[in-house]
Every structure is written in structure tokens, then in C-alpha cells.
Structure 1
Amino acid sequence: MDTRIAGPADADAITTTVALAFRDDPVWGPALEAPDGGTAHLERFWRYFVEGAIGQGAVSMQDGPSGEAATVAVWLPPGVDELTDEQEAEVDALLASTLAPERFDAYQRLWQRFDETHPHGEAHMYLSLLATHPAHRGRGIGQRLLAENLARFDAEGLPAYLESTNPANDHRYRRAGFRPVGGFVSVIDGAAVTTMWRDAGGGADAGVGAER
């Protein structure tokens, strides 16, 4: 599969892949769980993050044979926030009308923890989301996409930062040259979030594995 930079027309396919990939995430699954078990709000939620990053020209993807986004890396360049103030207000309105009140309160506190732990010193690329469509899992394409992106950032002299919300993926990020630098636990169920940093030129193990 060839890697390309996503454009606005790709937002639907990318959002679907992200929503499917993170539906059972140890952190985001419980955080976004509706009291009736509904999932209609998930694509609306993730679309805000996808569209913002697409507008920065920082989303890499590979196409599947049926028009799906087989794998996608949603990056943000140095100094760019995931959401504008207006988008954040719209996300809050969406979730306030969907989640139970105590779950919405927990989501807001979780979001604050992500923001508080994000480094704001050295300029870096931020991996907001890395997702693989369920039909393409287990082939290592997400790991290879990540490696391609990191090679480009290495050439530009840019380090990278991410938060791993699934411990099963931590070793894959280590293979890509990331190292744990901190972390916190979800206020909802204590699920671990590991913050990870990769220096420019950090190197990587060529091994690949299954990914979310």
C-alpha cells in the first residue's frame, strides 16, 4: 500500500476507521460509553480531531481496496492544538447530551489530564491518533506507516510525542524509538495512559506487529 497525505474528502473514511479502532480502547471506550450502549456519537466525536488535523496537512494514510482507510496516522505540527475553542465547545455539547452526567464530568477531567501532561517546551510532532481498520489488523501496516512518518520527521529534525492508551501497544512504540516519560490513570476506571517521547533520529527496531 502507498502512503499519502489525507485531504478533506478522506475525512469520512478516516473517521470511520478511528471510531472502529478506538471503540474498545481501554481508556476511550469507557470514557465515551453512552448509557444506552449507543455508538452513533463516536464518529461525530472523532471527526472533530480528524478534520482539524487534515486541515494542517498532517494526516498520513493508506487506502484499502474498498475505499476504506486501511491505516491512518493523525499528527499535529508543533504548536497546533487538537481543537479550537469553538470545536472544544461543540465536543462538550455533543458529549453532554449523550453521556450520563457523571461520565461527562469524568471525561472532562480525563481531557484535562491529557492537556496537563502534554509537553509545551521543545517543538515536536504530536501523534494524536494511530488507527488501523479492523479488516487490516495483524499485518503491521500501522507500524510501517508510523516508521515512514518518523523517518520524515527525523529528516526535519523534529522529535515526536504521543500518549498510549492501550498497554498492548507500548512495546510497538518502543520499537519505533519512543521511550516512556510519564503517565497517569483514567479517572473513570484506572486504565493506564503512558506518555512517550522520541528524539529526532531516535531510531527504530524494524520488527512489526499487530496494531489497533
Structure 2
Amino acid sequence: MPPTRSITVRQATSDDAGPLITVLVEAFLDGPVADWLVPDLADRRTVYFRYFKLVFNHGLQHGRVDTTDDQSAVAIWYTRDQVPLVESTGHYYEVERATGRYAPRFLLLDAIFETHHPHAPHDYLAYVAVDPRHQGRGVGTALLTNAHQTLDAANRAAYLEASNTRNRDLYQRLGYRQGAPIHLPTEGPLIWRMWRGQPTDGTPAPFPTDLLPHRSPL
């Protein structure tokens, strides 16, 4: 279904916390990664609310959080130029408090993502979520297109991880190239690494081959 009106993108603030944390929870509640992180459905919503509250506030403090005028979507970006932001020990304790007995999986996922992160300077799209009630209306595309225009003006690349083939195909239509996938351990799902470099000959830039050495995750 096409959007019924124009979509205005703006930078989020702490006043948007309640609605946007809910959007993150609802958008990520179902799917192969959610099943892997929190297999118990009875626990998942509670754990996700605590976790995405931490994620949202972290994005406000250390990155950039974009949203739409109706708060139906949210994207959390981080600038990655050389070495990643090294978190304090307190941050890992916060993740453990938020996720409880599921903390090992959450911390392992962060560590795996960090290990496979490209070294080339880029902006990292850590999370993008659209309220399920607004999906299929071009809201997510509008949110990302706005960010891509800013990146293109600054000659910046973008990187993200896609957790399903539907999202992977959408990112490819938006100019991303797929890298080697990540297979999460203990029968976990596939994750597709996606890179949107600046084209030099009219075609999308190839996925970078250099990787960061293993470092502490976000």
C-alpha cells in the first residue's frame, strides 16, 4: 500500500522514547533472530522492552536517532571511521540487567557483529524499525532515503546487517551490496552483511574486503 501522505523525517529526542521504544519492540518481536535471542515467547516482550530502552538511549547519547513526524519508524545510526566506540564495563552490566538469563546470546551477537564489521569508514545502521501497522507503505524507505541523501552529500558509505531475505532485498534496491553472510552459532539464523558505498562508475561499490580485528562490541 502506498503512503497516504508525505513523510517527514526528523531527528529524535528523549521525548520520543516511549513511542519509539515500542516501535522497536514490536518490529523486532518476531523473526529468526528473536527466536534465537529469546526462545521463550512468554519472556520476549518484557526482555525486549528493557533491552530496546537501553538501545534507544545509547543511540541518543552516542549516535543519531532518526524518526518520522508520526513516530511510526525509527533508525539508529553510528559513525564508524577507524576504531569503534569502546564501551565501559558498566554498559555490559546494563545489557546483562536488561536481558537477564538471555544476556549471553545478546552479548555474543554484538561480539559476532563486531568481528565481521568492515574497517572502511562508514555510517553504521544498527537498527531500523517500522511500526507493523505502517509497514508496506514506504515509511522505512523514506526514512533510509533521507539518511542516504545526507551520506551521499558527504561521500559517506553505509553498512548494516539484514536478518531476513525480505529486508536484504529491500536494501539491495536501495543500493546496498551483499557481503559474505554470517551464520549465528547453535543453529542460529543467517545474517546478511550489506554495504552501500559511493558508486564510481555508475554501479554500486563492491563490498569491502577488509575487516576489523576482534574488538569489544557496542
**What interval of TM-score do these two structures reach, taking the shorter chain for normalisation?**
0.7 to 0.9
- Identical counterparts, % of pairs: 27
Verify the 8 A CA contact 2:29 2:44 in the aligned structure 1. Answer: no
2-side partners of 1:55 and 1:178: how far apart?
A: 27
2-side partners of 1:145 and 1:155: how far apart?
A: 16
2-side partners of 1:58 and 1:74: how far apart?
A: 6
Match of 2:150 among 152, 163, 167: 152
Q: Does the C-alpha gap of structure 1 residues 33 and 164 become closer, same or farther in structure 2, counting only changes over 3 Å?
A: same
SS, match of residue 192 in structure 2: strand
Q: Does the C-alpha gap of structure 1 residues 38 and 126 become closer, same or farther in structure 2, counting only changes over 3 Å?
A: closer
Aligned residues: 195
- 1:3-18, aligned counterparts within 5 Å? 3-18=9-24
Verify the 8 A CA contact 2:123 2:156 in the aligned structure 1. Answer: yes
Higher mean C-alpha displacement, 153-162 vs 20-29: 20-29
Number of the residue aligned with 2:215: none
Question: Deviations for 1:105-153, whole angstroms, at most 9, x for unmatched residues?
Answer: 444333321111112x221100001100012111011012111111111
Number of the residue aligned with 2:46: 40
Q: TM-score of the superposition, structure 2-length normalised?
A: 0.79
Q: Are 1:25 and 2:24 matched, yes or no?
A: no
1-side partners of 2:68 and 2:29: how far apart?
A: 21
Q: Are 1:112 and 2:114 matched, yes or no?
A: no
Verify the 8 A CA contact 2:38 2:44 in the aligned structure 1. Answer: no
Q: Does the C-alpha gap of structure 1 residues 155 and 38 become closer, same or farther in structure 2, counting only changes over 3 Å?
A: closer
Number of the residue aligned with 1:127: 125
SS, match of residue 52 in structure 1: helix
Match of 1:50 among 53, 56, 59: 56
Match of 1:168 among 145, 166, 169: 166
Q: TM-score of the superposition, structure 1-length normalised?
A: 0.81
Q: Which sections of structure 2, spanning at least 5 residues, go unmatched?
A: 1-6, 205-218
Q: Does the C-alpha gap of structure 1 residues 17 and 147 become closer, same or farther in structure 2, counting only changes over 3 Å?
A: same
